[in-house]
A and B are shown apart, each in its own frame.
Chain A
Amino acid sequence: DARVTQTPRHKVTEMGQEVTMRCQPILGHNTVFWYRQTMMQGLELLAYFRNRAPLDDSGMPKDRFSAEMPDATLATLKIQPSEPRDSAVYFCASGLVMWTVFNQPQHFGDGTRLSIL
């Protein structure tokens, strides 16, 4: 059963450190989404890519966050420098989009639980 794989599953680090989260989308999927989930804000869309090109990253704080897809099998989300308010669960999802984004099911990974001390 094909799955989206996220690494690491848990990350604890100190404020100011660089954090890199990785996502392996389902083979053949052409669209990757990054989400953040907190108790206070709920689930928020940070950015999404189609065919490795960023389509929208307006949900992402630009000064410290960056998202890339070095190749079709790897998406990364980086935070530099990290702050305590970045503590959250970060989810990656992938999908096969034929025409318009958000018109097909997304397949989620199990997330990276990030704690910034």
Chain B
Amino acid sequence: KQEVTQIPAALSVPEGENLVLNCSFTDSAIYNLQWFRQDPGKGLTSLLLIQSSQREQTSGRLNASLDKSSGRSTLYIAASQPGDSATYLCAVIRSGGSNYKLTFGKGTLLTVNP
């Protein structure tokens, strides 16, 4: 059974700091890995999707990396802003023929202080 762990559970940083969020998974036979953000009382917003054959993906100030062999992904946020405050979740997708198994981490609650 795939287990997905996100460390730290919560993180508080001053505005402008570069930061790294971590996601680890136990089964390296993944199809892809996705990062989302969730604002309080809202649904998830898709941030980045990394295919199993890729090493990283970038979107603006966000960069996600994937190391399947070690079962790790990181989300790097450059020059953090108060608007980045949210819960960040990673999701690991495993393919089994025509079926997919999606496993989420519990998330990292990020607070960026002005």
Contacts and interface: CB of A to CB of B under 8 A. Distances in A.
10 contacts: A43-B89, A58-B99, A91-B43, A93-B43, A102-B32, A103-B51, A106-B44, A110-B42, A110-B43, A111-B43
Contact of B105 (A42, A108, A109, A111): A42
For chain B, the bracket of interface size reads 20 to 34
Chain A interface residue number, banded: 20 to 34
Given A105-B46, A108-B43, 5 more contacts: A44-B104, A45-B102, A56-B99, A102-B31, A103-B51
A86 B28 CA distance: 32
A62 to B, nearest CB: 16
A56 B100 contact: yes
Interface of A: 4, 42-45, 55-56, 58, 91, 93, 101-111
Interface in B63-114: 89, 91, 93, 98-100, 102, 104-107
A106 B38 CA distance: 13
Contact of A43 (B32, B45, B93, B104): B104
A3 to B, nearest CB: 10
Which 3 residue pairs are nearest across A and B when measured between Cβ atoms?
A108-B43, A105-B46, A43-B104
Contacts of A111: 42-43
B106 A42 contact: yes
A44 B91 CA distance: 10
